[in-house]
């Protein structure tokens, strides 16, 4: 057993972290929000040039052919920086969906362009309040009708991977049958849209029964992203309290603060450990993936929840200002909390992966 990132993975993380620290400081995030931008296009182009976007896409489709864990390492750094890029939509969900369910021609057509970042795809599944996988869209004879909302990054995407029932279809967004309406987004660094389909041309993907695996794999990446965000919150909270004097000594010296942040630190290490295992399982042990992804998902959300909330809390009033940096994570955390299905789905996924632990009424694992 060697349960640690490889030296190459550590280098990859350093490289990504260095680039992001330079290119996307918090002031830049503030500017993006103020200007109503949908994304940080310049950063996205650079990530593409560095090869980060195609990290886990096979070489034959223009990627680097690296492992899930390598992508996880990058996701963690994107989470730490809170970067305003459609990585989760285009790479983690859409490209992976095409990889899992697409025909040879669909893969050849889209994966190279997604890997380079030249084309962006969004992932459309929800249909308003309720489950992640909506059931109201219809696909008949290559024509899609219905509405998906909210859909992240749809405004900058040329392609949508649309979940229809238990299957997936590809829809080009620049066509008469598609209407995109921008919604107010709680996460101010991710534009969200409503997409209406009126007999839009859609190409079904042939792969069946891949949704659960797609979500497992996405949950692993979401966990890495959450771990990165949590670590940023912990460091920010620590630094702030170290620098603030209270009743004649540093705020960081008070046990209420020390103990709170120690608990956050523990939660992060548990989540990170689960994410490592799940990243490994996604590549090397398909049987372990559902349970491992669920564990990573549950612990990472817990860690990020604590970290984002307590970071703002230890800042006091300044934490409630746009000028402080707590809010980026406070908002992003809620997005990650709902991005691949709720805790009930993942609790079932985890328990159902235990031998002999299938409940009688909740064992289908449907309705993420």
Residues at the interface with other proteins (CB under 8 A): 1-6, 9, 69, 234, 238, 241-242, 249-250, 252-253, 255, 257-259, 261-263, 265-266, 269-274, 276-277, 279-281, 284-285, 291-292, 294-299, 302, 343-344, 346-348, 350-351, 354, 356-357, 359-362
CB of 366 to other proteins, least distance (A): 15
Least distance (Å) between residue 357 CB and other proteins: 5
The residue (of 3 and 35) whose beta carbon lies closer to other proteins is 3
CB of 295 to other proteins, least distance (A): 4
From first CA to last CA, the distance across the chain in angstroms is 34
Q: Which is nearer to other proteins, 179 or 352 (CB)?
A: 352
* Helix or strand (DSSP H, E) at 173: none
- How many angstroms separate the CA atoms of 304 and 299, rounded? 9
Burial class (CB in 10 A: 0-12, 13-18, 19+), 220: buried
Question: Do 201 and 80 form a contact (C-beta atoms < 8 A)?
Answer: no
CB of 80 to other proteins, least distance (A): 16
d(CA 44, CA 29): 14
Separation CA 107–CA 123 (nearest Å) = 16
Coil/strand/helix, residue 342 = coil
Smallest distance, other proteins to C-beta of residue 273, A: 4
Smaller CB separation from other proteins, 128 or 344:
344
Instruction: Provide, rounded to whole angstroms, the least separation between the CB of residue 274 and other proteins.
Output: 5
Nearer of residues 43 and 303 to other proteins, judged by Cβ: 303
β-sheet bridge partners, residue 197: 146, 178
Is 164 or 281 the residue whose CB approaches other proteins more closely? 281
Closer residue to other proteins (CB): 146 or 291: 291
The Cα–Cα gap between 121 and 170 comes to: 10
């Amino acid at each position: 057993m060697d349960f640690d990132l490889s030296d190459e993975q550590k280098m990859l993380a350093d490289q990504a972290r260095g680039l992001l620290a330079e290119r996307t400081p918090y002031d830049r995030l503030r500017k993006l929000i103020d200007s109503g931008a949908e994304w940080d296009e310049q950063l996205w182009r650079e990530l593409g040039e560095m090869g980060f976007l195609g990290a886990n896409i096979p070489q034959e489709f223009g990627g680097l052919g690296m492992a899930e864990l390598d992508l996880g390492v990058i996701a963690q750094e994107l989470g730490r920086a809170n970067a305003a890029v459609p990585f989760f939509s285009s790479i983690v969900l859409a490209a992976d969906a095409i990889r899992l369910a697409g025909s040879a021609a669909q893969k050849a057509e889209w994966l190279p362009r997604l890997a380079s970042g030249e084309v962006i795809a969004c992932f459309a599944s929800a249909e308003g309040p309720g489950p992640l996988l909506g059931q109201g869209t219809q696909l008949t004879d290559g024509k899609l009708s219905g509405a998906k909302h909210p859909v992240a990054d749809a405004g900058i995407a040329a392609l949508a991977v649309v979940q229809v029932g238990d299957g997936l279809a590809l829809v080009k967004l620049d066509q008469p049958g598609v209407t995109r309406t921008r919604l107010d987004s709680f996460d101010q660094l991710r534009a969200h849209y409503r997409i209406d389909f009126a007999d839009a041309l859609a190409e079904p993907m042939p792969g069946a029964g891949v949704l659960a695996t797609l979500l497992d794999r996405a949950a692993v990446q979401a966990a890495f992203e959450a771990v990165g965000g949590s670590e940023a919150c912990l460091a920010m909270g620590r630094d702030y309290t170290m620098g603030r004097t209270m009743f004649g000594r540093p705020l960081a010296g008070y046990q209420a603060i020390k103990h709170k942040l120690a608990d956050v630190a523990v939660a992060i290490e548990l989540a990170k450990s689960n994410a490592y295992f799940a990243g490994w399982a996604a590549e090397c042990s398909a049987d372990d993936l559902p349970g491992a992804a669920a564990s990573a998902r549950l612990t990472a959300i817990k860690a990020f929840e604590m970290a984002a909330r307590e970071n703002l809390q230890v800042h006091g009033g300044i934490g409630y200002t746009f000028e402080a940096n707590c809010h980026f994570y406070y908002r992003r955390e809620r997005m990650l909390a709902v991005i691949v299905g709720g805790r009930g789905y993942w609790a079932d996924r985890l328990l159902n992966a235990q031998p002999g632990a299938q409940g009688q009424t909740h064992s289908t694992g449907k309705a993420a």
